[in-house]
Amino acid sequence: MNKDILICGVGGQGTVLASKIIAASAMDEGNTVHSAETIGMAQRGGSVTSHVRIGEDAYSPLIPYGNADMILAFEPAEALRNLKYLSEDGVAIVNTVPTKPVTESLTETGYDGRKITAYLKDKCSCVFVDSDEVCAPFKSSKFFNIILLGIASGTGKLGIDKDTILKQIEKRVPAKFVETNKEAFITGYGIGEKSE
Amino acid sequence: MKEYVMGNGAIALGALTAGVNLVAGYPGTPSSEIIETVSKYPHEGIHLEWSVNEKAALEVAAAASYSGARSLVTMKQVGLNVASDPLMSLAYVGVKGGMVIVSADDPGPISSQTEQDTRRFADFCRIPVFDPSSPEEAYEMIQDAFDYSEKYSTPVLFRPTTRVCHAYASIEIPDEYSPREFEGFVKDSRKWVIFPRLSYNNHGMIEKRNVEIGKDFSAYKFNSHNAKKTSKAIVTSGISYSYVKEVLKTYEDVRIIRVATAYPFPEDFMKDSLEGVKEVLCIEELSPYIEEQILKTAGKFHIDIEVKGKLDGTVPHNGEMSTELASRIISEYLGADLVSKVADTDDAPELPLRPPVLCAGCPHRASFYAVKQATKGKKAFYCGDIGCYTLGNAMPLDMVDTCLCMGAGITMAQGFDHTHDDSYSFAFVGDSTFFASGMTGVVNAVYNEADMILCVLDNSTTAMTGHQPHPGTGRNMMGDIVDKVDIARILEAMGVVRVVTVDPLDLELSIRTVKECMEIKGVKAIIFKSPCIAITRPEKKCGVDTEKCINCKKCIREIGCPALITADGQVTIDTNLCTGCNLCAQICPVHAIGGGSHE
C-alpha cells in the first residue's frame, strides 16, 4: 500500500497523537512507514504538521506537494495553508471551527474561518466537521483528535482496518480514557461512513 | 528488535550499537534528541552528560578517546563554532578510541542563526565528514564513522540536517549491546601534548593521510551511482539525495551520483562516476561544496564537463531544498515535466499568521515588562540572547534591541556602555545560556569597569530546546541529584557590585529593584527567578470581574499575553492558557482581574 496522510492544526490540538496512531496502525498491518513532525520553534499556538508516509517507495520524509491522499485538518486555515500537499483525487477532512491566532487580541484579523471553509468547498473534495458539535456529547474538546481519526477511517480511504486503529488507541491513551476514546472513534467512524 | 525512532534516535542507537563509552553534548535544535534517546535506552556503563557548552563536551570526550574509549559528541551547527577551538587542535593530535562529533546543520534556517555548512568545517579542520540521507542510513553510517575514526586515529564529523534529524523510521537494533572494553590512558607526551613540533609533523602526515582516506572513501558503499549511461548526471548528497530520488521515481534515464563523504573528497569515485557524462547538475543544501569539488576534479583531470548548481545560479544558495524545488530544477535540466500538479490557490483568502510568542504566563514577559517600566522615558539599550526570551522582541514588549550569538548580550551591553555616555545598558540572559557562555562576559565587564545591568532570566531549565537540565537545576544526565550551582554566588564572587534575586511576577518589587540598580555605578545583576510554565502546574487561574472592568484593554496593550482575549468586545481570560501568574492583575488600573496564584 502507498498512502500519504498529512495532519495539520495548531499546537496543543492533539495532532501528534493522531499521527502516531496512524503510523503505528499502518506498521501493525505490515507496512513500511516514515513520518515527520514539525518541531523546534513550533509551540503552543503555532501551525503544526505531521507527515505520515506509508509504503516502500517514499524517499522524502515530507510528503511532496500534490501527493497527499488525505489531509486531516484540525483547523480551517491550516487546511488551506497545507492544501498544496493534497493530490487531485485526495480528500480533506476539515474542522470548521477556527482557532484564532494567539496574537488576535493585539492585532485583530477578523478571522472567523467562514471564508476559508467556503473556499475549500470549491477547491477540493472535503468532509467538513464542526468540532464543537461532535465533541458536545463528550463534554471536552480533548477527544476531537480521535473523532477526526474515526472520520478518516470511516471514509474508507485510510487503507487501515478500523480494529487495528482501535488496538493502537487502547495502547496509547491512558487506561481511564480508553473507553471514551473508543466511543469517540466509533462516533467519528459513523460520520465518515455517511460522508460522500 | 525494531524501533520506530526519529533520525536523532537512530544516531543515538547507532552509537550505542557501536559500543560508545561516553556521550556528551549541549542542546540545540535539531540535535537535542540524540542525548535524550541515549538516556531513554539501556546505557549502563556509559558516561552521559549535558555539558555546559559544546567546547566542554568535546574536551571531555577528547580525554575519553585518548584513553581508547569510543566517544560521541552532539551539538547543532553553531555549537561547532563554540567547540572549534578544541576541535582544530584535536584534529592535529588525533585520537585512539573512535570519536564522532555530530554537528546537525539547519538549512532554512528553521531554528538557527546561520546557514553554515559542517562539511566545509570538516575541510577546514582536515577531518572526515559523513552525510546521511535518512534515519536508516544514519543508524548504519554512524557505526562506520566510529570505525573510520579508529582506523585513521582522527576525530570525524557526522553531519545530519534538520529533515534527517526529525524524520521517523523503523530501525532494527540488536537486542543487546554494551559499551566496549578499552585500554585506558597511556601517557606519552610526544603524542598527547600539542607543541609546534607536533603540529608541524602531524600537519604533513594528515595531508598525506587524507589522500588515502579519499581513496578509501571512493570504495565506501554510501558513495554510489545508479550506473545509467547518460550524458547528463545529477550529483547530490544528504537529504537532497532523498528529494532527488523522490522526483525521479518515474524517470529512470539519468545517472544519479550520491556523495556521502564530502571530505576527504572521494576523487576516484567521482572521476569514475563522471565517465561519459557531459553535463552535471549539483543538488545540495547550504554551500556548493560538492559542486566546487567537482570543478576541482574536472580541472585536475582535464574532464570536459559543464557544471550546474549554486555557482551558476541554477540552484538557490539560501534556504532548504525540497522535493518541489528539486522537481522544478530537474525538470528544466532534463527537459521533462516532473513537477506535481498542485491546487492553484492564488485566489485564496488571506491566512491568519501564527507567529511564535512567549507562552501565556511566561515569567520572561514579566521580567521584560518590569525593565520596560523602570526605564520609561530614559534612553536604554536592551541586549538579548539565544533562548525563548529572544521572543521578548515582539510587540507590545519590544524589549530586544540586539541578538547575536550565545552569551553575546552581556559583552554587547558592555560595548554599548563604552560608546554611549547618555544611556543605560541592559543584558538579558537565560540560566542555561549564562552557564554556557555568559560567565566570561561578566568577568570582562567587571574588569573593564562597565556600567551595565545584567538580567538573568532564571526559569530553572533549558526551555527552548525541550527542558534539558543544566548546572543550576540540581539534576544531571546520570540521573543523580547534584548540588545546584548558584548563579547569585557566582556573580558575587566575580565582583558584581550588586546581585539581587527577585520574583518577576511581583511587578512592583521588580520595577523598584531595576530602578535601584540604575542608580548604582558598575556591573549590577538582577536574577529574575521564576520557573518555566511548562515545568510547573498552575494552582489557580485569573478571571475578569466584568462589573469592574472598564474594557480599557490596558492589559492587552501592555503585555500581550495570549491568555488575554476579547469575546464580544469584553476583555476576558482564556482559562485553558492562563497560569494565574497575575501580571495582568497588577497592571489593571481598576483592579478588575484577580484569582491568580501570586496575589
Chain B neighbors of A106, CB-CB under 8 A? 395-396, 556-557, 560
Under 8 Å between Cβ of A125 and A90: yes
Under 8 Å between Cβ of B540 and B580: yes
Task: Measure in Å the smallest separation between the Cα of B109 and chain A Cα atoms.
Answer: 11
Under 8 Å between Cβ of A77 and A49: no
Name residue, grid cell 534517546: B37
Q: What is the reported pLDDT for A38?
A: 79
Which region holds residue B551: left if phi is over 0, alpha if psi is between -120 and 50, else beta?
Answer: left
Task: Measure in Å the smallest separation between the Cα of B337 and chain A Cα atoms.
Answer: 14
Mean pLDDT of B382-407: 95
Which region holds residue B45: left if phi is over 0, alpha if psi is between -120 and 50, else beta?
Answer: left
Enumerate helices (H) and strands (E) in chain A, giving the number of each: 7, 6
Q: What is the DSSP letter of B465?
A: T
What would the pLDDT profile of B551-592 be if each residue is shown by its tens digit?
A: 999 999 999 999 999 888 899 999 888 999 999 999 999 999
Nearest CA in chain B to A58: B246
Beta pairing partners, B232: B279
Chain A neighbors of B360, CB-CB under 8 A? 102
Considering only CA atoms, which of B312, B333, B323, B318 is closest in space to residue B285?
A: B318
Among B29, B323, B396, the residue with its CB nearest the CB of A64 is: B323
Mean pLDDT of B111-136: 97
CB contact under 8 A, A39 and B29: yes
Chain B neighbors of A25, CB-CB under 8 A? none
Q: Do B224-334 and B543-594 fold alike per CATH?
A: no
Where helices occur in B6-50 by DSSP H, the ranges are 7-17, 33-40
A21, A85, B208 from A50: Cα distances, Å? 12, 12, 47
Mean pLDDT of B344-352: 92
User: All 3 cell numbers of residue B465?
Assistant: 530546546
Considering only CA atoms, which of B316, B317, B318 is closest in space to residue B328?
A: B316
Mean pLDDT of B263-277: 97
- Please name the residues in contact with B102: beta carbons below 8 A apart, sequence gap of 6 or more: B11, B25, B31, B34, B72, B73, B74, B75, B142, B157, B158, B159, B160
Mean pLDDT of B10-25: 98
Whether the CA torsion B406, B410, B414, B417 is positive or negative: it is positive
pLDDT band at B595 (very low <50, low <70, confident <90, very high): confident
In CATH terms, the superfamily for domain B2-214 is Thiamin diphosphate (ThDP)-binding fold, Pyr/PP domains (3.40.50.970)
CB crowding B577-596: b at 16 or more within 10 Å, else e: bbbbbbbbbbbbeeebbebb
CA angle (B430, B431, B433) in 5-degree steps: 65
Name residue, grid cell 554599548: B416
Grouping H, G, I as helix, E, B as strand and the rest as coil, residue B403 is: coil
Mean pLDDT of B266-283: 97
Q: What is the reported pLDDT for B70?
A: 98
- Please name the residues in contact with A48: beta carbons below 8 A apart, sequence gap of 6 or more: A8, A9, A10, A11, A13, A15, A16, A37, A38, A42
Q: What is the reported pLDDT for A106?
A: 83
B residues 221-240 closer than 8 Å to A (CB): 239
pLDDT of B598 > 70? The answer is no
Under 8 Å between Cβ of B172 and B109: no
Distance CA B313, CA B306 (A): 14
Q: What is the reported pLDDT for B386?
A: 95
Q: Which of A13, A52, A105, A135 to mutate to test the interface with B (most CBs of B within 10 A)?
A: A105
Q: What is the reported pLDDT for B497?
A: 98
Q: What is the DSSP letter of A91?
A: E
Task: Measure in Å the smallest separation between the Cα of A34 and chain B Cα atoms.
Answer: 5
Distance CA A24, CA B285 (A): 31
Under 8 Å between Cβ of B384 and B394: no
Domain edges within chain B: 2-214, 224-334, 363-529, 543-594
Given CATH 3.40.50.300, say whether it is the number of domain B543-594.
no
Task: Measure in Å the smallest separation between the Cα of A18 and chain B Cα atoms.
Answer: 15
Among A27, A34, A105, the residue with its CB nearest the CB of B565 is: A105
CB of B570 within 8 Å of a chain A CB? The answer is: no
Q: What are the backbone dihedrals phi and psi of residue A102, each rounded to the nearest 5 degrees, phi first?
A: -65, -15
Beta pairing partners, A5: A52, A70
What would the pLDDT profile of B181-237 be if each residue is shown by its tens digit?
A: 999 999 999 999 999 999 999 999 999 999 999 999 999 999 999 999 999 999 999
| Domain tally, chain A | 1
Name residue, grid cell 580541472: B299
Among B352, B562, B577, the residue with its CB nearest the CB of A109 is: B352
| Range(s) of the domain holding residue A100 | 3-194
What would the pLDDT profile of B237-256 be if each residue is shown by its tens digit?
A: 999 999 999 999 999 899 99
Considering only CA atoms, which of B325, B295, B18 is closest in space to residue B158?
A: B18
CB of B362 within 8 Å of a chain A CB? The answer is: no
Query: For residue A181, what is the domain's CATH number?
Result: 3.40.920.10
CB contact under 8 A, B4 and A88: no
Per-residue pLDDT of chain A (196 residues; tens, 9 = 90+): 899 999 999 988 889 999 999 999 999 999 999 999 876 454 667 899 999 999 998 999 999 999 999 999 999 999 999 999 999 999 999 999 999 888 888 888 889 999 999 999 999 999 999 999 999 999 988 999 999 999 999 999 999 999 999 999 999 999 999 999 999 999 999 999 998 6
Distance CA B406, CA B427 (A): 12
Considering only CA atoms, which of A40, A43, A3 is closest in space to residue A19?
A: A3
B36 C-beta neighbours (distance < 10 Å), count: 20
Chain A neighbors of B544, CB-CB under 8 A? none
Name residue, grid cell 499568521: B353
ipTM over 0.85: yes
Residue length of chain A: 196
What is the amino acid identity at position B345? T
Give residue B234's Cα distance to chain centre.
30
- Dihedral over alpha carbons B60, B62, B66, B71 (to 10 degrees): 80
Task: Measure in Å the smallest separation between the Cα of B324 and chain A Cα atoms.
Answer: 7
Name residue, grid cell 576534479: B297
Chain B neighbors of A23, CB-CB under 8 A? 4, 168
CB of B552 within 8 Å of a chain A CB? The answer is: no
Please list the helix, strand and coil fractions of chain B in percent, rounded to the nearest 5, in that order: 35, 20, 45
- Please name the residues in contact with A164: beta carbons below 8 A apart, sequence gap of 6 or more: A25, A28, A29
Distance CA B164, CA B1 (A): 22
Task: Note if the bond before B155 is cis, omega within 30 degrees.
Answer: no
User: All 3 cell numbers of residue B30?
Assistant: 535539531
CA angle (B358, B106, B82) in 5-degree steps: 85
Among B324, B556, B560, the residue with its CB nearest the CB of A65 is: B324
Task: Measure in Å the smallest separation between the Cα of B190 and chain A Cα atoms.
Answer: 45
Give residue B308's Cα distance to chain centre.
31
In CATH terms, the superfamily for domain B363-529 is Thiamin diphosphate (ThDP)-binding fold, Pyr/PP domains (3.40.50.970)
Residue length of chain B: 599
Mean pLDDT of B274-283: 97
pLDDT band at B308 (very low <50, low <70, confident <90, very high): very high
User: All 3 cell numbers of residue A192?
Assistant: 465518515
Cα diameter, chain B: 85
Where helices occur in B152-262 by DSSP H, the ranges are 162-165, 189-192, 196-218, 239-247
Distance CA B587, CA B366 (A): 11
Structural domain B224-334, CATH architecture: 3-Layer(aba) Sandwich (3.40)
CB contact under 8 A, A60 and B340: no
Q: What is the reported pLDDT for A43?
A: 60
pLDDT band at B537 (very low <50, low <70, confident <90, very high): confident
Q: What does pLDDT average to over chain B?
A: 96
Chain A neighbors of B396, CB-CB under 8 A? 106
- Please name the residues in contact with A75: beta carbons below 8 A apart, sequence gap of 6 or more: A8, A9, A10, A13, A95, A97, A98, A99, A113
What would the pLDDT profile of B51-105 be if each residue is shown by its tens digit?
A: 999 999 999 999 999 999 999 999 999 999 999 999 999 999 999 999 999 999 9
Grouping H, G, I as helix, E, B as strand and the rest as coil, residue B390 is: helix
Q: 3-class secondary structure for A115-156?
A: HHHHHHHHHCEEEEECHHHHHHHHCCHHHHHHHHHHHHHHCC
